[in-house]
Amino acid sequence: MPPYPTQAMRHLGSPVGAGGLARADATGEAGAEACGDVAIIEITVSDGMVIDAGFRVRGCGATTAAASAACERLRGASMDDAMRVSATSLDADLGGLGPERRHGVDVVADAVTNAIEHWHTDRLVPPLGSDPLGGQSPCQKRVVPEINAGMGDGAGSGPIAGATLGSDPLGGQSPCQKRVAVAMSGGVDSAVAAMLLADQGFDVVGVTMRLWHDPGAARAERSCCAPETVRLARETCAVLGIPHLVIDATERFRAEVVEDFIAGYRAGLTPNPCITCNGEVRFRILDEAAVLVGATLLSTGHYARVAQMDDGTRVLAAAADTTKDQSYMLARLRPEVLSRLLLPLGDLQKDHVRALAAEGGLPAADAVESQDVCFVGVGGYAPFLERNAGMTAQPGEIVDVGGRTVGSHDGHWRYTVGQRKGLGIAAKEPMYVISTDAATNRVVVGTRADLAARVIQIDDLVVHSTPDCTLDVRIRHHGRPLRGRIVMTGAHSGEVVLEDVAEAVAPGQTAALYDEGRLVAAGRITRAPARENSTEE
């Protein structure tokens, strides 16, 4: 193994912050005894500055040297500069340790990230009247955009009717008001979103949320915001020269997304946790993190667009890349979020985004695509529900639409509307799941014709407008748009009357309604009366 560089030897000879602090406002620990290296970083914070930093290390010299370099950087640093500490910056401070000793800077960078994460997470929902920014001036209050949205040249799909795309999203605000909090998952989309915003002069802060993962799932199954992707997001921010903040959202995610998912299946619904996560929970947490770092704008790397209407209203619109459009996943975003949201990838094609990442030297350029329902491991929903909700085998009847028993099953939650495989029924023609009944643990099956519906009842509506015209209706993410009209039946409920026949409409899913590419309303499907509303033409 080559000798330590001179810079590293200085830190080994006189380590900065060795022994830790007598009192710390936040502590971060990383590494594991099993791999031989553990680093603990402690910091004290006042008036938006890191006043002091100390460390304790068990492990090799590379970890000790990296911890000393980290404390040297942290002492007297602004919180922004503290959030810029990365494995790349520490390795440069040490003169380049080489691949044999790189683990030391990785462990210490993780510990620094964790200390700053703990300090901010503890202040995520501050009491009324407190100063969550620790005395920062108004011009130090940053905007946190979520990285996965893009701005720039790309193959567009034409203008959105009645909307202006590509106009100044800030309405002439000063540079001090252009700070953006970007949600960064460690993937290529959020990385390019952050890069595009930084290139355009925005003051960007990357925000990564540490989410809950099924403890029973294999490590390789955990993709979204796992430790490896947190590192990838941090090193991407290092390349871009922007601060990076991690927020511990594990319990919030478990309570608001995972438990909602479990409750939906218990009730016989087919919930869509990706819409709950992307369109609601993550943005709430991102907004709270933005307050901590002083950001007034939000951004993500989703493939969708925000269109400005003639009256100044900002609405969500479909992306130019129809194969990647994620507007359906964001359908539940509230108007107050859309008014501050930047989606820089909305006019770009996926191939172009990857090319931009490669040209920019971003570590996430070759990152794999994240999976749907990131917290469910290999094996699907049933094993997940068994592990985490105690929903073990519960024998029940499979009946046809006439009520005749035609088979048996081990739990209604193992089936969803439209399912054909795994029924174990012998019939003259293919049979499909028509509905499930949680109260009786019964699964109802029928022919494909029995799946047809022309009326969809929805509640929990988010309404931007209710145009008196035929709309495009999407009842699943990549589903074929159907034509229909919405009839409001209450302040937050309505019926979608379809011109096209819908198949396999699953209660618990989301219906999103578009007017020439603009999302005008979205709600949760509660019922889709089938046989009596289906008419063969």
Q: Tell me which residues are annotated as active site.
A: 277, 374
Quote the CA–CA distance of 179 and 264 in Å, as a whole number.
Answer: 38
**How far is Cα 372 from Cα 480, in angstroms, rounded to an integer?**
19
The DSSP code sequence of 88-127 is: HHHHHHTT---TTTHHHHHHHHHHHHHHHHHHHHTTSSPP
Contact residues for 95 (Cβ-Cβ < 8 A; gap 6+)? 5, 6, 7, 8
Q: Scanning the structure block, which residue is given the tokens 């401070």?
A: 93
| Residue 299: other Cβ atoms inside 10 A | 38
Interacting residues of 532 by C-beta distance below 8 A, sequence separation 6+: none
Q: What is the 3-state secondary structure (H, E, C) of 221-246?
A: HCCCCCHHHHHHHHHHHHHHCCCEEE
Task: Count Cα neighbours of 394 within 13 Å in the Cβ-side half-sphere.
Answer: 18
Q: What angle do CA 369, 374, 375 make, to 5 degrees?
A: 155
* AA identity, residue 491: A
Which of 262, 145, 159, 155 lies closest to 195 in space, CA to CA? 145
Copy the structure tokens of residue 52: 């002091």
Checking DSSP bridges between strand 510-515 and strand 493-502, what pairing results, if any?
unpaired
Which string of b and e fits 2-14 if b means at least 16 CB within 10 Å? Answer: eebbeebebbeee
